[in-house]
Structure formats: structure tokens, C-alpha cells
Structure 1
């Protein structure tokens, strides 16, 4: 396999033919617990999270735990479609935030204070979605390029990027271009890739 779409198809096939929804649910719980127990979560002042889609590791408990522990939480809002540059921004959320269905049907904050990873001395943790990851922490997303474009704007030393993934999303190597941003850590139900 050489192209990203081939890898995306393999993960979708593995997801459809492999584990049952119950097993995925059990593994997702393990992954979320591992992340919540990590120093990256515990020490973060701000968590840049995302509203998970159906087949992704659910992020709702992470978001709620962060808010209850006094952390600030930001979620992405798409401001331009792929055809116009695939741009997004992050807005702070809280228990009163109202959400709208955005691009791909993903829940986005309707409004909120805009924040960025360039926030002074704050310890920033960014959770990033993806379909495929490899042992070098390369990532294949869904093809829009939103996260690659967004994160490329900032000094990577200012934040830590974590991906949560099922073991069947991990490959020995995936194709990566110079502009494809790596993650700093991948947490699966079986291991930490860091």
C-alpha cells in the first residue's frame, strides 16, 4: 500500500470485520482511562479536544473530567470548508455551551472565546483525531487537512499532541509528507507509542 486512501480503507475494513461494538467499547474505556491517568492530562492547563464521531474513541468523558477538574477546554469549529482552505479555530466550552452540527455532522460549539496554542505559559495538551497511525507517530486523518493546517501555524514546542486509537489503527509505517504533522504520543488499549 502506498497511498493514504488504501490505509484508510484497511482501517475501515478492520473496524467492520474485527471487533464487535462491545469490544470496541471496552477498549475505548481502557484508552480513555489511560489518558486520564497520564501526566499529560493531569498537568495540562488547557485541553484542546474534539467532539468524537461514531467510530472514534469517545472524548465526552475526557471533556467533562477536564471541566470538573477546573481545566479550560476548547473544541474546534470549522470556519472554512476544504474547498476554501480547510481552516478551523478553537473555542472555549463549558457546561452551558450550545452546540451546532458542523462539517461532516460533527458537533461544534456555537460560540465561545477563541483560543490558540500560543497562549503564554499555559501547559497545553491537544487531542487529535485520526484514522491511521504508525510506530513513528505519523498520522493519516480523514483527508481534509484541517489539523495539519491548524497546527502548522504554531511553534510545536508550545504544546503536546496526543492521539487516542484502537490497536487496529496502528501500522508499521504509513505514508507521510513533509507537511503532515506527527503526534507526540499515541495511546491504544495495549501500548503507548511515544
Structure 2
């Protein structure tokens, strides 16, 4: 813990604005770039919240459009044994017929885990267009999806900002090394004694 605090304090001393005469203009530019990066990272939380809210709203809207109806099996469904070590079996796909809320008859296939005879009814989920769909997400799933989306947006912004900061620092370092080489060349010219013949 002490090492982490010491590292943070070292960075604060390195980048804080002050009147240090030894601080080069490029050092001040680097500190300003770091401050701008930190501000932009904090500001990226707002778009992340907006995107997460949009995703959550869309998921709730999709969930509200889904509802279940009773469908009649058009063929026998045999029980599918669960596979060991590979998770649950997806089940056998069997043909079913259902009636949409508008009264239109539709057919399709659904996966069933349990045995059922032809003519028996099963509950299926349909969307607003009356087509078969998956069950609606639970409120917990919607919350997890929206939080995950917000975190991914912030992480994406952090990676982009970090890449920009690294590129800017690399350009500053090239300039610093060029200045350093120029200063050494000037010092070498000043310090070199002319050869006596």
C-alpha cells in the first residue's frame, strides 16, 4: 500500500503545475495532455450512461412485445438425455402450430427437452410480429446488460484516450531526444579544443 501511495505521489509531483525552472515546455505539455485525458475519461461516463439507458430501454421494449401462447405439437417429441460434461442438451426440434393474437395460424419448430405426444400443447414465446422468439430477458439480465454496456463504453474510451496519450508522449519524446542531441552537439562544439599542428 505504501508503494502505491508513493507511486501516486511521485506522479502528482511530476505532473503538477508549478514554477520549476527545470521543467521544460514539453514537460508542461505532457502534464496538460494528461489532465485533458483525465477530464475526457471522466466525461466519457456521460455517453456511457446514455448508451446503457438506450440499451436498457430497447431491451424493455423488446421484452414488452414478447408474450407466450399455447402451441400444439404436430409430431411426437422424445425425451433427450442430458449430455454429461457438455452442459444441457439443446433438445429435439419439433414442429408446432400456434395462433397469433390477431387469429392467424402459424407453424414453426421449437426445441423440447421433455417427451410429449403429438397434439399436446406447449407454451412458446412469440414477438410482436407473431413469430417464435426466445423468452424475454429478466430485469436482472437487462440491468446486467446495461451496466456491461456502460463499462465497455468507458473502457473503449479509456483505450482510445490512452492510445492518443501514448502517441502524444512518443512525439514529445522524439522532440526531446532531438533537442538533447542538438544540445550535446553544441556543447561538443564549444568544448572541443582546436588541434595544434
TM-score bin, normalised by smaller chain: under 0.3
In our comparison, the structure showing a higher alpha carbon Rg is 2
State TM-score, norm by structure 2: 0.21
Structure with greater helix share of residues: 2
Structure with greater strand share of residues: 1
